[in-house]
Amino acid sequence: MSIKSFAAKLFAKSIHNKTQKWVQNPIETQQKVFRDLLATAKDTQFGKDHHFAEIKTFDHFAQQVPIRDYEELRPYVDRVVKGEADILWKGKPIYFAKTSGTTSGAKYIPLTKESMPFHIEAARNAILSYIHETGKADFVDGKMIFLQGSPVLEEKNGIKLGRLSGIVAHFVPKYLQKNRMPSWETNCIEDWETKVDAIVEETFKEDMAVISGIPSWVQMYFEKLQQKGNKPVGDIFKNFNLFIYGGVNYEPYRAKFENLIGRKVDSIELFPASEGFFAYQDSQKEKGMLLLLNSGIFYEFVKADEFFTENPKRYTIGEVELNTNYVLIISTNAGLWAYNIGDTVQFTSLKPYRVIVSGRIKHYISAFGEHVIGKEVESALQEAMEGSTIRVNEFTVAPQINPNEGMPYHEWFIEFENEPENLNDFALKIDQAMRQQNAYYDDLIVGNVLRTLVVTKVQKNGFQEYMKSIGKLGGQNKLPRLSNDRKIADLLKTR
């Protein structure tokens, strides 16, 4: 055992003990975060407009501060972007995380001196939690890579801005700099395909121990490595044993990854966003990710099936239930207040509070009242592939409301690595799994409103070509699993 790995184990134990203090007191921890946020922001423009100085309880806060998305909060954000101070949070942000919005164009999410450290600490603590639980620390001596956006930052009214992953690249601890890959120059390449090719060249002969990124784009990296080496990734990187990911569910990719790697590797799931780092997988044995209750974020939850009703009930951490689909609402030390980030979660444990990401509140199919969510389609596909050699690279689902003939149906666009022998039988297996999970969908099938879903094959690299055509190839961009319209489907049909 090296000195570095020994020190990592000691540090991991220390962080674990520190974490357990707030894990054992979740409600009190969130109440303190709530009070601190209001006290700090009471003299901001937002705080004055919403009478923060008078708020003593959560119920009062819920009355004063409505749930907002970016568009609804934008009048305040625009003032921050123009350089005004003390608008949403005291002073000015130190960064803007720039993301692409569907309705509002570019979105500028503030990052403050109070919020930024939690992004870094959460990623670090996820790895330390893994070390503490498993005792595995040898990987700290190998090379590590995170497939991320360019760290080149712009400036707007004196505040630097860029992709969150690019901003985070500026905060890599010194003790990891020698282990970190790719080089700064390669990381700054904007074109994703050119960048991945350069990363392959740089890392091919290195001792890569930890690889991290969104699964769909790491898959591209692995495929290029395999092509170059003509052997599994696990043979190229003999000490690669830890994959860290976030952004999408890994399960639909797991079989494909194990085939590319040539063996199983441990994995750690993260739940980061520009708006905050919300959770990380703290156990290899338990399902779900530990919700970070002590990270300057106050959480609210609204039941997804009530979200679009007038004045839906807003729940705090002590009121949530297992296996219920909630829209995640946050108030943060970056100045986001009762903010709808668009993600839905389900709790897998209440002691401690662990969640899985179940989908997006805007990414669903309910063209006929079926209320299908991301978790359901991912689980159905995984169940249909069990015990077979079928491998899927990527997929998305959309409704077909006006078919040329017959009844409407759900159309599954799937890019296969290994195709099923009989596509109709495979579609039926997915359909049966969907009916077991979603009673509304089952009722529509039984009632002859919908017919059995249809699988449409997408050509090799078809999804990559689609993402490239809309300017979202690589980085932190993700393909929606579900659409309630045919915008994506129609573009895929033309390819």
With a CB cutoff of 8 Å and minimum separation 6, the contacts of 259 are: 391, 417
State pLDDT tens for residues 391-444.
999 999 999 988 888 899 999 999 999 999 999 999 999 999 999 988 889 988
Average pLDDT over residues 143-149: 87
Domains held by the chain: number: 1
pLDDT value of residue 176: 67
Mean pLDDT in the chain? Answer: 91
Q: Does position 71 have pLDDT exceeding 60, yes or no?
A: yes
Sort strands 242-246 and 266-273 into parallel, antiparallel or unpaired.
parallel
Q: Is residue 160 in some structural domain?
A: no
- Top-confidence residue, 373 or 351: 351
Nearest to 336 by CA among 120, 35, 112, 171: 112
Q: What is the pTM of this model?
A: 0.83
Q: Is residue 364 in some structural domain?
A: no
- Kindly report which listed range (81-85, 245-249, 260-264, 335-339) carries the lowest average pLDDT score: 245-249
Q: What is the spatial distance between Cα 239 and Cα 233, in angstroms, rounded to a whole number?
A: 10
pLDDT band of residue 475 (cuts 50, 70, 90) is low
Q: Is residue 276 in some structural domain?
A: no
Q: Are 232 and 261 in contact, with CB atoms under 8 Å apart?
A: yes
- Top-confidence residue, 240 or 255: 240
Average pLDDT over residues 15-21: 97
Domain range for 459 is 374-493
Spacing of C-alpha 133 from chain mean position: 23
Q: Is residue 489 in some structural domain?
A: yes
pLDDT band of residue 483 (cuts 50, 70, 90) is confident
**Token pair 């959480």 in the structure block, residue:** 299
Q: Is residue 308 in some structural domain?
A: no
pLDDT value of residue 93: 97
Q: Is residue 234 in some structural domain?
A: no
Average pLDDT over residues 370-390: 89
Nearest to 196 by CA among 231, 161, 222: 222
Q: Is residue 394 in some structural domain?
A: yes
Q: Is residue 432 in some structural domain?
A: yes
pLDDT value of residue 29: 98
Whichever domain contains 436, its CATH number is 3.30.300
